[in-house]
Amino acid sequence: MKHFIGAANPMRAQFKAMAAFEAQHFSWHFAGGVGTITLNRPERKNPLTFDSYAELRNLFDALKYSTDVKVVVVTGAGNNFCSGGDVHEIIGPLTKMTMPELLEFTRMTGDLVKAMRNCPQPIVGAIDGICAGAGAMMALACDLRYGTPATKTAFLFTRVGLAGADMGACALLPRVIGQGRASELLFTGRAMSAAEGLSWGFFNDICEREALLPQAQAMAATLAAGPTFAQGMTKTMLQQEWAMTIEQAIEAEAQAQAICMQTQDFTRAFEAFSAKQSPVFEGN
């Protein structure tokens, strides 16, 4: 386990074209510029293992170098998203680890969230049923989230004797739903209902189960057909500006926009507007 967690990422060198990627611990499907990750252990509500954590981290890290993946969709099989860390394959072994081993593990789980936030592709979460623990953090790390009336999202760390501060929860969740609401969920570990998640801004929309993945993939396809370089810049600015003053943010956005004005997509948009046509973006 330790060697796998600490191993160098083999995907950077091998797969700039990530359509060729073959996942071992989840499902990966690529079409039309959209890569879809499906957590696929439905008999256990799609829990994560040491290996799936590490492979997901490596995949999102490698996406920074991808030339073909424009948007990522993350979902779960069997009407559930993810029940968190596998009780028998992760939680049990953690109770027997030394402090250095535990820190190696907790840093690795945080690295997954960092990789999701730092990859330039927008990430769309299609979140049904149980979304708990590390699964809730994966959902939170997405850029857009769609749920169903059956979705129950629980940051349940305190219910197993751990701090609500896990994988960046205390930084990310208040920014999405507000400090007071986040404090309640992180202190109590209770499940946030789909209705609460929608009204609090956690979900972008709630749809029926059969429409969930099609709606998420439709949004992903729309984004993939857009100016993807500019979208990557937007995601970078959304991430980086949390730590900036207003003055720093305005200057950073001035520089970001000047860079985007050098792209061919900017010229394509102007030429299409002048011709009264819809622009066809190519991401460069």
**CATH code where residue 38 lies:** 3.90.226.10
**250 and 140 in a common domain:** no
Q: Where are the alpha helices (DSSP H) in the chain?
A: 2-6, 11-14, 50-62, 92-94, 99-118, 134-141, 169-177, 179-188, 194-199, 209-224, 228-240, 246-260, 264-274
118 and 19, same domain (yes or no): yes
Please tell me the predicted confidence (pLDDT) of residue 1: 46
User: Are 142 and 190 in a shared domain?
Assistant: yes
State the 10-residue block means of pLDDT for the chain, 284 residues long.
Answer: 51 65 94 97 95 96 94 98 91 91 94 97 98 97 98 95 95 97 98 98 98 98 96 96 95 95 94 94 93
Are 249 and 176 members of one domain? no
In a domain, 136, yes or no: yes
β-pairing verdict for 191-192 and 152-154: antiparallel
Can you tell me the distance from the alpha carbon of 217 to that of 36, in angstroms, rounded to the nearest whole number? 8
Identify whether residues 254 and 178 lie together within a single domain: no
SS3 at position 181: helix
Distance of CA 221 to the CA centre of its chain: 17
Structural domains of the chain, count: 2
Same domain, 266 and 141: no
Q: Could you tell me which of 35, 207, 37, 41 has the C-alpha nearest to residue 139?
A: 37
**Do 135 and 168 sit in the same domain of this protein?**
yes
Residues 211 and 268 in one domain: no
The answer to whether residues 22 and 90 belong to one domain is yes
Q: Nearest-5° angle of CA 74, CA 79, CA 81?
A: 35
In whole angstroms, give the CA distance from residue 88 to residue 90: 6
* Rounded CA separation 241/166 (Å): 22
pTM, to two decimals = 0.93
Within this chain, do residues 238 and 261 fall inside the same structural domain, yes or no? yes
Residue 284 lies in a domain: no
Structural Rg of the chain based on CA atoms: 19
Residues 126, 260: one domain? no
Residues 30, 145 within the same domain: yes
Query: In the prediction, which pLDDT does 263 show?
Result: 95
* Burial grade of 234 (CB within 10 A; 0-12, 13-18, 19 or more): middle
Range of the domain at 123: 2-224
